Amino acid sequence: MTAVGEPHAPHAHDVLAEIEAEVAHELHEERPPAGGPGYQIAGALTGLVIGVAGAALASGYGLGSLREPGPGLWPFVVSVLIAALSLLLLVVGRQLDDAEKFTRSSLLVAIGAVTFAGFGLLMPLIGFEIPAVLLCVIWLRFLGGESWRSTAVISVATTAVFYVLFIYGLRIPLPHLISF
């Protein structure tokens, strides 16, 4: 045992280095196989389509202004950023080599995007609350594998926080069922 202020024993550094090497090896083994430039381009095009579609859907909700934002303003801004970054990736993606091949787990991302689009389509019809809870349940329980208990608690709490943030904090006139 070392006293306060004294350097650690020499073997402590060896153990730490050994653990770091083991963790790095395990992470490398779990990583999907590497893809080529085609995968970079496919990912960039997918992001571009999602960004453009999101911007189109968001503008349909009304953008408003910065002083009085409409329900579609911030989703529109995020969608434009996604599209712009995807365009950038499309331009420089051929030189990058960090793409991964699509695997079964890649399907989870597609399901997440589809359910998020469903949230956007349902919100004007039945309000913010029900689609938000459903989106959280799908993402947490079915895509994330959380327990039903934590899914229920986190889904309701997240929806409540976003409700207060958007409706009262940012005063965004989202369609909603509950009014206080």
Domain that holds residue 26: 13-101
Is the pLDDT at 117 greater than 80, yes or no?
Answer: yes
Asked if residue 94 and residue 19 are part of one domain, the reply reads: yes
Of 85, 101, 117, the position where a domain reaches its end is 101
Dump pLDDT digits (tens) for 65-107: 888 888 889 899 999 999 999 999 988 877 777 777 777 777 8
Dump pLDDT digits (tens) for 126-177: 888 999 999 999 999 998 889 999 999 999 999 999 989 988 888 877 887 7
Report pLDDT for 158: 95
With a CB cutoff of 8 Å and minimum separation 6, the contacts of 18 are none
State the average pLDDT over residues 43-71: 90
Asked if residue 67 and residue 39 are part of one domain, the reply reads: yes
**Is 107 within 8 Å of 98 (Cβ atoms)?**
no
Short-list 109, 166, 167, CA closest to 139: 109
**Ramachandran angles phi, psi of 34, nearest 5°:** -70, 145
Of 43, 68, 101, the position where a domain reaches its end is 101
Owner of token pair 């950023």: 81
Of 101, 123, 151, the position where a domain reaches its end is 101
- Judge whether 35 lies within some domain: yes
